[in-house]
A and B are shown apart, each in its own frame.
Chain A
Amino acid sequence: MKRLLFAVALLLLSMTLHAGTLNIGIEGGYTMGFYDYRGAVRNGTNFKLGHAFEIAVPLEYRFNDIVGISSGVRYIGKSYGRENILNNETVFDLRNVEHFFEIPLTLRVSADFGIWRLFAGAGGYIGIRFLSTEMGATGIPMVGTSWNVIPYDADNDNLFDAGIIAEAGFGYSFNGSGELQIIARYQYSLTDLDKNYQEEHIERYIDTLSITAGYSFCIGGNE
Chain B
Amino acid sequence: MRKTILIAILLFILASCRGYIERPSDTQDITTWAEFFDLWWNKMDQDYVFWSFDSPADEWDQVRKDAVPKMESYGNIVKDSKNENTRNAARLLFDLTKDLTDGHFQLRFDSNFNIGSFSPFMYRKMREAGLSDEESFELRYTSDTDSRLWNESDFIAENTKSIMQETFKIAIDDERNINQPYTTTNEIYDGCFEKAGYVTYSSVPFQDGDSFYMFLGKSSDGILYLAFSDFAFTTFLKNTHVNEDAKAVVNLLQAFQTEIDAPDTTGVIIDLRGNGGGLANDLQMLWGIFVSGNVDFGEIRTKRSDNRLSYGAWNTLSIEGMRESPYANPVVVICNSMSASCSEMSLMIFKALREQQGVDVTITGGISAGANGMITDNDTFFDAGSFSAGGIVTVRTPFSQIRYIDGTFYEGKGIVPDDVVNFNYTQFTTGNDLRLEHAFECI
Which A residues are closer than 8 A to B by beta carbons?
Answer: 36-40, 42-45, 82, 84, 86, 91-92, 94, 96, 133-134, 138-144, 146, 148-151, 153, 155-156, 164, 166, 188, 190, 194, 197-205
Contact = CB atoms under 8 A, between A and B. Distances in A.
A59 to B, nearest CB: 26
Nearest to B297: A142
B318 A144 contact: yes
Contact of B380 (A86, A139, A140, A142): A86
Interface stretch (B164-172, B180-188, B278-286): B278-286
A139 B376 CA distance: 12
B383 A40 contact: no
B241 to A, nearest CB: 23
B219 to A, nearest CB: 32
Interface in B294-322: 300, 302, 304-319
15 contacts: A38-B21, A39-B305, A44-B381, A84-B382, A86-B381, A91-B382, A140-B400, A143-B315, A156-B309, A194-B310, A197-B57, A198-B307, A200-B42, A204-B310, A205-B18
Nearest to B42: A200
Contacts of A141: 280-281, 283-284, 374
Nearest to B57: A197
B382 A92 contact: yes
A150 B56 CA distance: 18
A148 B315 contact: yes
A40 B380 CA distance: 13
B319 A142 contact: yes
Interface of B: 7, 11, 14-15, 18-23, 42, 45-46, 56-58, 60-61, 64, 280-281, 283-284, 300, 302, 304-319, 374, 379-383, 400
Contacts of A37: 305
A200 B45 CA distance: 8
A39 B313 contact: no
A127 B310 CA distance: 21
A40 B300 contact: no
A138 B383 CA distance: 12
A205 B300 CA distance: 25
Contacts of B304: 82, 96, 134, 150
A142 B61 contact: no
B19 to A, nearest CB: 5
A84 B18 CA distance: 25
Secondary structure dominating the interface of B: loop
A201 B381 contact: no
A197 B58 contact: yes
A201 B58 contact: no
Contact of A45 (B19, B60, B317, B383): B383
Contact of B280 (A134, A142, A200): A142
Contact of A150 (B20, B283, B308, B312): B312
A136 B74 CA distance: 48
A142 B282 CA distance: 10
B311 A153 contact: yes
Nearest to A84: B381
A141 B286 CA distance: 14
Given A140-B300, A202-B305, 19 more contacts: A38-B18, A39-B23, A39-B306, A40-B46, A42-B383, A44-B380, A84-B383, A91-B382, A141-B280, A141-B281, A142-B284, A142-B319, A164-B14, A188-B14, A194-B305, A194-B310, A198-B307, A203-B19, A203-B20
Contacts of B20: 38-39, 203
Interface pairs A-B: 10 shortest CB-CB? A148-B313, A156-B309, A141-B280, A134-B313, A40-B23, A150-B313, A38-B20, A143-B315, A199-B61, A142-B317
A201 B307 contact: yes
A138 B11 contact: no
Given A153-B311, A156-B310, A40 B21 contact: yes
B384 to A, nearest CB: 9
Nearest to B41: A200
B170 to A, nearest CB: 33
Given A142-B280, A143-B300, A197 B309 contact: yes
B18 A202 contact: no
Contacts of B380: 42-44, 84, 86
Given A42-B383, A45-B383, A148 B18 contact: no
Contacts of A134: 304, 312-313
Nearest to A155: B309
Contacts of A92: 382
Given A39-B21, A141-B284, A149 B313 contact: yes
By CB atoms of chain B within 10 A, which of A134, A199, A200, A205 has the most?
Answer: A200
